[in-house]
Every structure is written in structure tokens, then in C-alpha cells.
Amino acid sequence: MSSATSYYADAPYFALPTTASPDLPNQIWYFEAVADQSSSKASLQVVFWSGQPVVSAPIPFYVTVSGTYADGSYLSAFYPATSANVSEGRGVWDGAASWEKDEHGWFIVTFPAGRLRLKSVVDSGHYPTADEDAHIQPGKLPMPLLVNGGIGWSTTVPAAVVEVDATFEGKALKFHGTGFHDTNFATTQWPQQFTKWFWVRGNAGPYTFVVYHFLPRGNAEGKWHTSAALWRDGKKVMDTWTGARNSAEQTVQLTPSKTWPATPADIGDAQVDLTLDFHDSHTGLHRKFTVTR
């Protein structure tokens, strides 16, 4: 990890790899859009990969695009890159795709099939950090942003308005909706970091929430780690992570349904749900949400 005391939110937290190896540190930059019409199932996820966080790959850099059309049918694309470069407000995967933040605060993600535009609607991101005394300046982050000893998470845009305009194999995907953008990074492949993992984001009325909930590998006590934040009307009202000083006062309980599958690939068409219970004993805040798929 870098020893810098402050950094920009989308920074590469390790030197970008030059070879494909599962033993090197890794990082992904994730952009998501979901249509806001209740009758539409349209969605899009664009992921910029550096290294091999989940599975081995023959190249160190590539971009994956996946999602669903309005009718619920699936789409996917894979774009190999020859190299990658990340600077403040900009990322380029040569020959594959790029993102850039313009002067109006829009992230513009461009790929061969089209583009995704995303702009935050909340006052700040969520940046769990191992250094509880570090001062978080606007646009700057203390390092490292660890949610566990070897894995970190920086949520630059917890909630956003989005626009998608793309065409895959002659079929158009165009919609407005809600969005999300974060980056994850780790010293080793993710399966070596934890045995179970839930990541949840959502919007409900005036509320926005993000939750990162996982069971670290080798944890003899079976203690889950949680990093979460809650916003109301765009303003953050709760921000906590396991190990922080406020974690005794601020708690987030995640309870999955009994039908929850072992892996996302096992979900299929089944309906699953989980309950999120946010509680702050200091302010008296208590909100519960049920997330259903």
C-alpha cells in the first residue's frame, strides 16, 4: 500500500501490473446503472480490471460490460486492453474503454458499444479507513482505505443519476436511471481474503445506502466485518465500519433470507431477499430496509 497521507478517490492503490499474475495486487473500477422505470429491467455494469482479483486471466488489463435489456434478456461484452493508465478524474484502458470526470461533475464512461454518463446526487462518498485520526478533505482520502487487512473499498459515487446509450450486436440499450461507482483493491485474490461476502446498494424514498459485509478468511471467531453508510435527502446521516471508534454506537445488521444462494450464479430466477438494520444509539436513528431480487 502507498504510504501517502491523502489521495484522490479513484487512485490506483498499487502500481498497475505489467504481467498477468494472480500473485500481484489487484484493483477494479466499477460503474453501474439501473433503469428507474418500474416496468423496465434495463441495467448496465462496466468494470475496469487491473490484475486478477477473482479468476486468472491471460492479460493484466481488460474491461467487461454486462447487463440486461428492458425485457430482461442478458447482454455481455469483453474488451481486452493493451495497457492502462489512471490519473485524477480519468482512466484509460487502451484499445478497450475509458472514463473521465468533466467540469460539471459527470463521469463519462466510453466503450466500443456506447457510453454511460453518471453524476452523484449525495454530498459525499464512503471511505472506510484504517487510520481513524486521518482528516478526510473534500476530494482527498486517507490511506489505506481498508475494510480488512488486505482488501479496501472506496465508494466515490454512492448514488447518482445516469444516462445509458449503447448498442450491442444491433440491439439498442438506452435509458435513464440510478447509478453507482466505486473501486475495490486487494493485496491478493479476493477468495483468499474472505469466505463470504455481501455488497448491497439501494435507494428507498429519501434514503440511499451502501453496505459491504463479509467474513474474513481465517477468522476463528466467525466475526463478520461491516462497512456501511446511509444518506437522507443526499446528506450523510451515518458512516461506520468495523473497528472504527463509532462502531459501538453505529451498527448495521445484515440478515439474508434462507433461500440465499452460495454464489451469484446460483440465483437464477429465484426471489431472494435480505434485511438491513441501521441503528445509531447516539443520535437515535433507526432505519430498516428489505432488499428483494
User: Do both 29 and 154 map to the same domain?
Assistant: yes
Instruction: Please give the model's pTM, rounded to 2 decimal places.
Output: 0.87
Say which CATH number the domain at 58 has: 2.40.370.10
Both 168 and 215 in one domain: the answer is: no
Q: Do the Cβ atoms of 63 and 91 come closer than 8 Å? A: no
pLDDT value of residue 1: 33
Looking at the fold, whether 159 and 59 belong to one and the same domain comes out as yes
Question: Quick check: 177 and 33 in contact, CB under 8 A?
Answer: yes
Mark whether 153 and 129 lie in a shared domain: yes
Backbone φ and ψ for 71, nearest 5 degrees, come out as -85, 0
Domain span including residue 165: 24-188
Q: Supply the pLDDT for residue 96.
A: 98
pLDDT in tens, 42-57: 999 999 999 988 877 8
In this structure, the answer to whether residues 71 and 180 fall within a common structural domain is yes
Residues 1-45: tens digit of each pLDDT = 333 334 567 888 788 888 888 888 889 999 999 999 877 999 999
171 and 204, same structural domain? no
Are 178 and 213 members of one domain? Answer: no
> Given this model, what pLDDT does residue 247 score?
65
Q: Is residue 72 part of a domain?
A: yes
Residues 39, 120 share a domain: yes
Count Cα neighbours of 116 within 13 Å in the Cβ-side half-sphere: 30
Model pLDDT, residue 7: 54
Domains identified in the chain, total number: 2
**In terms of residues, how long is the chain?**
293
Q: Report pLDDT for 213.
A: 84
Residues sharing a CB contact under 8 Å with residue 100, sequence separation 6 or more, in sequence order: 89, 90, 91, 107, 108, 110
**Whether residue 139 sits in one domain with residue 242:** no
Which among 188, 212, 243 is the end of a domain?
188
Residue 5 maps to a domain: no
Residue ending a domain, choose from 169, 188, 207: 188
| Same domain, yes or no: 175 and 208 | no
Specify the pLDDT at position 143: 46
Of 188, 222, 249, the residue that ends a domain is: 188
- Specify the pLDDT at position 179: 96
Q: What is the pLDDT of residue 245?
A: 57
User: What is each CA distance from 116 to 84, 104, 147, 162, in whole angstroms?
Assistant: 19, 15, 28, 7
Name the stretches of the chain with pLDDT < 50: 1-6, 130-144
What does the DSSP 8-state code read for residue 16?
Answer: P
Q: What is the pLDDT of residue 220?
A: 66
